[in-house]
Amino acid sequence: MKTAIILAAGKGKKMWPYNEYWPKAALPIANQGNIVHLVNNLKSLEFERIIVTTSYLGRRIKSLLCEIEGIEIIELSTTEGTADSLEKVVQDLQEPNLFIFYGDLFITQERLSSFIDAYQMQSDTLDALILSKPIENEHAQDWFGISIGEDHRINNIFGHPRPHYVQERVMGAFALNTIALKRMLIHNPGFMKSVPTGVMPQQEVELEQCLQWLVEEGYKVLSYPITNGAIDIDKPWHLMQANHLALSEITKVLDKNEIHETCEIHETADIQGYVKLGKHVKIGKYVTIKGNAIIGDYTTLDNGVVIEGNVVIGSHCRIENFCRIGPDSVIGHKNRIGHCAEFKGVTFDNVSFIHFGEVFGIIGESTDIAAGVTVGITRFDDQLQTQNVNSRKEIPEKFGNAVYFGDFTRTGILSLYMPGIKVGSNCIIGSGVAVERDVPSKTLLYAEQTIIEKKWGPHRYGW
């Protein structure tokens, strides 16, 4: 029996502003919770038992998985870290090998399959296999890093190391001999002890420290490096990356039109790629779709809409009146986008953006983008934007200049957002405000106007 454990109990503080209503594992990737993608891929690879641990906002994960058969959900009242969550579920498991995944890992089925096959081919002589990624343009200190010896044998696993210590980083998928797994869990000291001198670990029971114990005890622990096909969803821009990856996977397999018999396509519509249309989709007058598109049930595109490239659009949307959707965008369910609005990026469900404006980034659930809202994405020095994450400065590899709107937020007309700004959940941004720094959640931000009144009239012109 192939058994997988998905760890989805963390609070995901670095994902702000999307951690207040979402556990990271539930965040939408191409309009489906990330954990649903992972579970479906595992089931397609004949995993007979899938165990999911939850804690923070666990009901959201439970609601996503409730219709999928064969999922065991273990709700933890508290957890002290990934190893602590794991220790609470593995003691009664008797399978010789276990596969463990972080719930915030988006991985394609192809990459997942290759990782599982790699372990099974050598499971008789291997104690653990860790999915990894070579560190190239990323910052080693953002991750758990791996020092590699010959034949991908791991020499050390470090917590947030300096770049010269490591060559690869942990990606969030592990295959282990069950006996070795149970032994390593009881040897965890309660924090990431394996850090370079001068690095300060937090008090959290990390799975990576357990794996480091295996390495130090001489167990055979290898890395399985990949260069693409997986995204560790840790910060908002990783959510953009994961959606891009999912979108490319979903749309590239379209090699013919799949149009439900209840759909309507106007004779003036220009569809240049392949489309997969759900029930009662309407493609109206002068709509242009320049790439492949997947469109959900009861969605209408009408009156001069331009879709610039491959897209996924949810159900019950209304997109109309000469608006433009940029390439590689994901539009959530129940969105309204119209009247010359320009958008590129990812929207969650129930977003409204119906009058002019230009936005690039992520728009959270039930957020209202007012008329004339404009997002700037290019700095005057043409450099990537520095982001603030838990009071630490970071420069994202990609999408650092996008703007990130939280959930249940309202924007005022003609408000302006500088590159890389994050706006929290439950915020109101007043009309005409130029937002130059991150806005904390539950904030009202408005500008006080200074009015100058002077006499004017014909006498000003010499009369």
Q: What is the CATH number of the domain that holds 139?
A: 3.90.550.10
Residue-level pLDDT at 383: 84
Q: Classify the C-alpha dihedral 102-116-41-69 as positive or negative.
A: negative
Measured between alpha carbons, how far is 214 from 208 in angstroms, rounded to an integer?
A: 10
Measured between alpha carbons, how far is 13 from 23 in angstroms, rounded to an integer?
A: 10
Measured between alpha carbons, how far is 174 from 152 in angstroms, rounded to an integer?
A: 15
In terms of domains, do 312 and 433 share one?
Answer: yes
Q: How many domains does the chain contain in total? A: 2
Please name which of 405, 340, 421 lies closest in space to residue 368, comparing C-alpha atoms: 405
| DSSP character at residue 439 | B
Owning domain of residue 272: 257-445
Beta strands in 22-86 (DSSP E): 28-29, 32-33, 49-54, 71-75
Residue-level pLDDT at 1: 67
Farthest CA pair distance, the chain: 101
- Report the predicted TM-score, pTM, of the whole model to 2 decimal places: 0.95
CA torsion 125-88-9-392 (nearest 10°) is: -70
- Residue 461 within a domain: no
| pLDDT tens readout for residues 64-102 | 999 999 899 999 998 999 999 999 999 889 899 999 999
Sheet with 410-411: strands ordered across: 264-265, 282-283, 300-302, 318-320, 336-337, 352-353, 368-369, 410-411, 428-429, 444-445
SS3 of 91-150: the string is CCCCCCEEEEEECCEEECHHHHHHHHHHHHHCCCCCCEEEEEEECCCCCHHHCEEEEECH
In terms of domains, do 270 and 217 share one?
Answer: no
- Residue 458 within a domain: no
| pLDDT tens readout for residues 39-72 | 999 999 999 999 999 999 999 999 999 999 989 9
In terms of domains, do 216 and 273 share one?
Answer: no
- Residue 322 within a domain: yes
In terms of domains, do 192 and 298 share one?
Answer: no
Measured between alpha carbons, how far is 82 from 41 in angstroms, rounded to an integer?
A: 22
In terms of domains, do 217 and 278 share one?
Answer: no
Tell which phi-psi region holds residue 69, choosing left (phi > 0), alpha (psi between -120 and 50) or beta: beta
Across the strands, what pairs with 158?
145
Please name which of 363, 359, 380, 378 lies closest in space to residue 419, comparing C-alpha atoms: 378
- Residue 246 within a domain: no
Residue 324, both tokens: 């433009």
| pLDDT tens readout for residues 90-143 | 988 989 999 999 999 999 999 999 999 999 999 999 999 999 999 987 888 889
- Quick check: helix, strand or coil at residue 192? coil
- Residue 248 within a domain: no
In terms of domains, do 179 and 262 share one?
Answer: no
